[in-house]
Amino acid sequence: MKKVNQSHPRLRKSWENKTYEQIISSSEMDSLTSICEALFPPLDPPSKLDHNQPIDNSIKSFYRSSGSQKPIPFEVAGVMKDRGLPEAVLLVDDNSHNAVWEAIDYKPDTTTTDNKANNQGRPLESGIVETLYETPLTLLQSLTSKGLDVREDPKDNLYKIKCDVVIVGSGCGGGVAAAILAAAGQKVVVLEKGNYYSAPDYSSLEGPTMNELMEKGGMIPTTDGAVMLLAGSTVGGGTAVNWSAALNTPDPVLKEWADEQGLGLFGSPQYKFAMQSVTQRLGVTTECVKEGFQNQVLRKGCKNLGIKVDQVPRNSSEAHYCGSCYYGCRTADKQGTDVTWLVDAVNLGAVIITGCKAETLLFTKNGRKKEKRCVGVLARSFNEKIPGKFELEAKVTISACGSLLTPPLLISSGLRNRHIGKNLHLHPSLMVWGYFPEGPTSQFEGKSYEGGLITSAHQVAPDQMSNSMPRALIETPALGPAACAALFCPWESGSDIKRRMLRYSRTANLFVMVRDKGSGEVRSEQRISYGLSAEDRENMTAGLRRALKILIAAGAVEVGTYRSDGQRIECKGKSEDEIEEFLGSVSATKGPLTARFWAVYCTAHQMGSCRMGRRENEGAVDENGESWEAEGLFVCDGSVLPSAVGVNPMITIQSTAYCIAKKLAESLKNGEFNI
C-alpha cells in the first residue's frame, strides 16, 4: 500500500520561506533575471523531436518556460550568497511536484511505502537528543532523561557532561565504534553536527535533500576547482546517502598495507573476522533480482565486448530496487549505520546529540606515556536558541568525522604531527554518457534514475601482473536532473539545453574511478588541495575509453564525455575507424583553471588524511588508531587508511573501525584510560 508523501519539512520545498529575501539591489536583480532568461529562454516548441519523440502539452510547456520565472532568480541570488544548491531550480512546489518532471520523464518516488521498517518509526528515538528542536528550558531535561550525568554551569555558559567515551561523527567509523564500545559496557555519547532523519522523512527531492544531508550542499571544491567532493552530513554520515556498494578490501591492498607498510593489522585474522562481522551486520547480499536501466546498459555492453562484468555486493536485500538511496533510503532497506550499528548502540544506552559540532579537543598535560592527555571535547549547537556550549569529559575521545573534518579538528586543537591532513586520497572520478532512445526496438527497460544504484561493475585490467589492482573501476552513478543539467558542457543555446534535458531519463551514465597514487592535503574546512599523478591520468584515460566502448557496444545512438567542449559523437553510420579516432581523442583532462578543454572530477570517497603508521614519522596515528601526540585520543574513520582502497571503501572503513574499537574496549576494561 502506498500513501501520500509525509516527508520532513526540511526535506521539502515548503521549508523555504515563501517571501524571498532581497539580498541584492533591484537593478542587480533585473540584470540577474535577464541572465537567467538568456540561459534558459522561452521558446516555441519544435515541429519534431529526436527519434520521433511525441510532443505533448508538458513538452510544449517546458519549451515555453523561462529562467526568469520566480523563484529562480531569487534562488540563484541565494546561491551567490550562500554557495548552496538552488532548491527550486526546477520549480518544485509544496506538494513535491515539478511542472518540468513530466516533460523530462522524471518520476521520483515521492510516496511512502507501508512496510515493517517504516512502521517502526524512528529507530534511534530512545537515544537521541536533537538540539535543533531544544530550548534552554528543555535541553537539560532531555540530556538527563537519556541517563547522562549533566551539570549546568551558568558562570561559564556550559553544559558539562560526563561519559566514558565521546565520539565525534556517526558515519562508517563512528557508528561501528559506538556499538562496540556500548556493548562493552561504556557510556557512549555520539556528537553529530547533522540532523536525524529516518525512512519516512526522506522526500527524494534533489535540492533540499542535498542541502540538508550533504556537507555544504554536496558542493565542496578543491582550491583549484578541479575536484568536487561529496560527503554526508547527517546521522549515519555517508552511509545514509551512499550508493550501497559493499565491497571487501581487495587482497592486493591488504598485502600492500601489511607487508610493504608494516601494518600487521591488515594481514591478521582479526581483520578478516572484522570484515565478516561487518558484512553480516549490514546484511550484505551478492545477488540482484532486477537491475536498473544504467546497470543493464553496463552489463550488456560488457557482454557484447566479451569482457567481464562483476556483480556488486550491496548492504540491502536482493530485491532492493531503489533509485533514490542517494537522497536517503525511503524503504529503510539500505543498511546504513543509522539503522544498524547506531541502533545497537542506543539500545545499549548510548546517546546521540545532533545538530552539535565539535569545536576543539580538550587536553591536560599529565599524560602517563605521552606529553598530552585528551579528556574530552568542547562543542556547540547550531541552534541559536542554545547559547551555551557542551563540555564533554570522557576517558576516551574518538574523532570519526571523516577525512575532510578530522584533520581540521585535530589541527585547530593544537596537534602538530606532520601527517595530519596530508596523504588525502579521493578515488577521483569522471563520467561518460550514452543516449538510448525509448522505443519498441530498445533492449533496456526503465529510466536512468530507477533501480539499484550500483549492482554491476567492470574492472579495467592492469597491464602487468594479474594479481595487481585494476587500472580503473567502471560503475554507475546516481545523477539527479539538476546535477545533470549543471554538468552539460558547453552551453550552446537555450534550445540545446532543453533538448538535452528531454533525453535525461534515457541517458545512461558510467563513472570511471581510479585508485589514486596522487594525493592532497586538508588543513582547514575551507581549504582542500589535491593533484592527480601522471599514472592516475593514464589509468583514467584507459577507463574513459573503455567506458565509452561499453556504451557503444550496448547500442547507444550517441555518446560523449562531460568535457568543457561537449566532446561527443553520434554512433549511427560511423565506421570503426571513425569511432577509434573519437576514442583516441578522449583523455583525462585537467581542471578548469589549467586547461583549454577541462572537466571537473567528482569524488564521494575520502581516505588517508590521518593515516596509520608504524612510527610517529610515518603516520598521524598508530596501529590502534591512537594519536601519537595525545593519550586517549583515537581516530576511527576513513582518514586512518594507509592509502586509497581502489574500491568503494565502506566495508574497509567499518572493518578498520571494528578492529580499533575492539582493541580499545579491551584497554578500557583493563583500566588503561581511567581518569
Cβ 555 vs Cβ 293: under 8 Å: no
* Residue 176 is labelled as binding a ligand: yes
Cβ 73 vs Cβ 29: under 8 Å: yes
How far CA 619 is from CA of 215, 465, 583, in Å, comes to 26, 29, 41
Instruction: Please name the residues in contact with 200: beta carbons below 8 A apart, sequence gap of 6 or more.
Output: 6, 7, 112, 118, 121, 330
* Residue 167 is labelled as binding a ligand: yes
What is the rounded distance in angstroms from the CA atom of residue 412 to the CA atom of residue 635?
A: 15
| Eight-state DSSP code of residue 249 | P
What is the rounded distance in angstroms from the CA atom of residue 529 to the CA atom of residue 222?
A: 5
The SS3 of residue 509 is: strand
What is the rounded distance in angstroms from the CA atom of residue 220 to the CA atom of residue 49?
A: 37
| HSE toward the beta carbon, residue 140, CA cutoff 13 A | 12
What is the rounded distance in angstroms from the CA atom of residue 640 to the CA atom of residue 657?
A: 9
Provide the angle, in degrees to the nearest 10, between the axes of the packed helices 534-554 and 576-584. Answer: 150
How many other CB atoms are there within 10 angstroms of residue 75's CB atom? 21
Instruction: Please name the residues in contact with 154: beta carbons below 8 A apart, sequence gap of 6 or more.
Output: none
* Residue 174 is labelled as binding a ligand: yes
How far CA 350 is from CA of 187, 450, 471, in Å, comes to 6, 37, 43
**Main-chain dihedrals φ then ψ at residue 508, nearest 5 degrees:** -90, 130
Ramachandran area for residue 149 (φ above 0: left; ψ -120 to 50: alpha; else beta) = beta
What is the rounded distance in angstroms from the CA atom of residue 468 to the CA atom of residue 517?
A: 14
How far CA 587 is from CA of 225, 432, 465, 533, 604, in Å, comes to 19, 12, 24, 14, 22
Cβ 162 vs Cβ 149: under 8 Å: yes
The catalytically annotated residue of 320, 425, 427, 605 is 605
* Residue 241 is labelled as binding a ligand: no
The one-letter code for the residue type at 232 is G
Instruction: Please name the residues in contact with 389: beta carbons below 8 A apart, sequence gap of 6 or more.
Output: 157, 158, 159, 359, 378, 379, 380
* Residue 253 is labelled as binding a ligand: no
* Residue 178 is labelled as binding a ligand: yes
* Residue 177 is labelled as binding a ligand: yes
Residue 443 CB-density burial (10 A; 0-12 exposed, 13-18 middle, 19+ buried)? exposed
User: Which three three-digit cell numbers place residue 252?
Assistant: 592486493
What is the rounded distance in angstroms from the CA atom of residue 538 to the CA atom of residue 338?
A: 39
* Residue 640 is labelled as binding a ligand: no
Cβ 226 vs Cβ 590: under 8 Å: yes
Cβ 112 vs Cβ 8: under 8 Å: no
**Which position has the grid cell 545538530?**
355
The SS3 of residue 527 is: strand
What is the rounded distance in angstroms from the CA atom of residue 89 to the CA atom of residue 318?
A: 35
What is the rounded distance in angstroms from the CA atom of residue 104 to the CA atom of residue 503?
A: 7
**CB neighbour burial string for 100-109, b if at least 16 within 10 angstroms, e if fewer:** bbbbbbbebb
Cβ 625 vs Cβ 636: under 8 Å: yes
* Residue 621 is labelled as binding a ligand: no
Residue 425 bears catalytic tag: no
What is the rounded distance in angstroms from the CA atom of residue 644 to the CA atom of residue 635?
A: 17
How many other CB atoms are there within 10 angstroms of residue 286's CB atom? 11
**Residues annotated within a binding site for FAD:** 163-178
Known binding-site residue numbers: 163-178
Active-site residue numbers? 605
